[in-house]
Amino acid sequence: MSTFKAPKGTYDLLPPRSATFLAVREAISTPLRNSGYGYVETPGFEDVKLFSRGVGESTDIVSKEMYTLTTKGGEELGLRPEGTASVLRAALQGNLHKLGNLPVKLWYSGSYYRYERAQAGRYRHFSQVGAEAIGAEDPALDAELIILADQAYRSLGLRNFRILLNSLGDKECRPVYREALQDFLRGLDLDEDTLRRAEINPLRVLDDKRESVQKQLVGVPLLRDYLCDACKAYHEEVRALVSAAGVVFEDDDKLVRGLDYYTRTTFEFVHDGLGSQSAVGGGGRYDGLSEMIGGPALPSVGWALGVDRTVLALEAEGVALDLPTATSVFAVAIGEEARRILFGKVTELRRAGVAADFSFGGKGLKGSMKDANRSGARLAVVAGERDLAEGVVQLKNMETGEQRAVALDDLLDAVRAELA
């Protein structure tokens, strides 16, 4: 055992469980790739101000949870706690918005970092797949992203998740609501930190999960009653488009999410089988974020889905993914000449696109066949000196136990026929 361990609140992904994480990433990204979203990858750390301006200094993510470091040159950097600000920064820096093809549609996958109390479903290092549609104010984009996330989850076999939907208004109508909400919150028995948050960003108080806060929010003013006509019309169109696609959602008047940049459409995917940490993903529209980080006006919308949370949701529902076998053919050589020849045949199989492995370490027949069983291979290729003298190898079906001699030169064709 190593002297060192993974830092508290983090985890290592190891086979065989890592295969499930890869399958989840693939399932989430497939609908995006099929809908015009191109892949983007950003650094694991950014200028701290990118997140303090965009995500919001009053959010727990920035004020309490962001890992920060100072470089030798005195720069303040932060490990990325979320993906949207980084992706938008990259799109602006790469001038993608100037290519005349808006919206710019991007998807990404990676690790993110937040310093918080480690518990099941909430880690200090976690994995997400996200999507951003940058540069267009269109209810159809909001609806598209909600529908694609629903499609991704259903392709995995998830059924017991819910979609929560709300509108946060815009710069025209939200200030009026903000004032009404602050007046209401000032009359409650709240702790000093919560009162401070209510003065900076009162909507964040609605997102407070503590029962002592939630029970005082009975009768709180609701943003839906303050939406301007334009926001109402926008939200109704999003709802209509999502419904027309057969995607079921629930209206949630208190849904605000944990980031300051959201405007208008906001949504969350929750799974009741995960306990208190029920959110598996979410997102919304962020029309003003580009200006916040020094860019031009680029109305945008996006989401991020947690890979870790999605895996837990699959486990909660008892969904076993149909994972591809890592190894289709396992070669077992008996004797040095057989090792040389079979190793060459394994290389030939791999070049032909067949997943093949080899019995390394000079083990005997019994030990090598145990390795073949552990690999999950469907076929074993076994050869010794007598087989090679006859120009054949033994091809064994590991599921049925049937074995037959195959000419060495015909091995690739025989393997393809068996696997087909």
Mean pLDDT, to the nearest integer, of 121-150? Answer: 95
Residue 215, pLDDT > 60, answer yes
Count of other CB atoms within 10 angstroms of residue 383: 26
The larger pLDDT score, comparing residue 147 to residue 66, is at 147
Residue 171's pLDDT is what?
87
- CA–CA distance, 353 with 359 (Å, rounded to integer): 19
Structure tokens at 298: 């680029």
* CATH number 3.30.930.10 given to 17-173+227-317: yes
- With cut-offs at 50, 70 and 90, classify the pLDDT of residue 214: confident
pLDDT at 60: 65
Res 322 pLDDT > 60: yes
In this prediction, residue 274 carries a pLDDT of 84
**Antiparallel, parallel or unpaired: β 250-251 and 161-167:** parallel
- 254 versus 42: the higher-pLDDT residue is 42
Q: What is the mean pLDDT of residues 204-229?
A: 87
Residues 342-363 have pLDDT tens digits of 999 999 999 999 999 999 988 8
Is 196 a residue whose pLDDT tops 90? no
Residue with tokens 């919560």: 194
pLDDT category of residue 410 using cuts at 50, 70 and 90: very high
Give me the mean pLDDT over the 47-70 stretch: 79
Please state at what angle helix 336-351 crosses helix 411-419, rounded to 10 degrees.
Answer: 60
Domain boundaries, the chain: 17-173+227-317, 329-419
The residue that leads in pLDDT, 203 or 381, is 381
Residue 55's pLDDT band, with cuts at 50, 70 and 90, is: confident
State mean pLDDT over 22-35.
Answer: 97
DSSP secondary structure, 245-302, as one string: TT---EE-TT---S-TT-EEEEEEEEEGGGTT--EEEEEEE-TTHHHHTT-----EEE
The pLDDT value given to residue 63: 66
Q: Looking at the DSSP assignment, which residues form a beta bridge with residue 266? A: 166, 284
Query: Greater confidence, 292 or 324?
Result: 292
Of 417, 416, 266, the residue nearest 354 (C-alpha): 416
Asked if the model's pLDDT at residue 7 lies above 80, the reply is yes
d(CA 210, CA 215): 9
Residue 58 has pLDDT above 70, yes or no: no
- Please give the structure tokens belonging to residue 11: 């985890």
Classify 329-419 by CATH class: alpha beta
What number is the average pLDDT over the span 37-47? 96
pLDDT digits (tens, 9 = 90+) for 152-195: 999 999 999 999 999 999 988 888 988 898 899 888 888 888 88
pLDDT tens, position by position, 73-123: 999 999 999 999 999 999 999 999 999 889 999 999 999 999 887 776 678
**pLDDT tens across 386-397, in order?**
999 999 999 999
Question: Residue 61: its pLDDT value, please?
Answer: 67
Q: What is the pLDDT of residue 414?
A: 95
328 has pLDDT over 90? yes
pLDDT higher than 70, residue 59: no
> Which residues touch 213 (CB under 8 Å, ≥6 apart)?
190, 194, 205
pLDDT score recorded for residue 161: 95
Task: Specify the pTM.
Answer: 0.89
In tens, the pLDDT along 265-284 reads 999 999 988 876 789 999 99
Q: Assess whether pLDDT exceeds 90 at residue 150.
A: yes
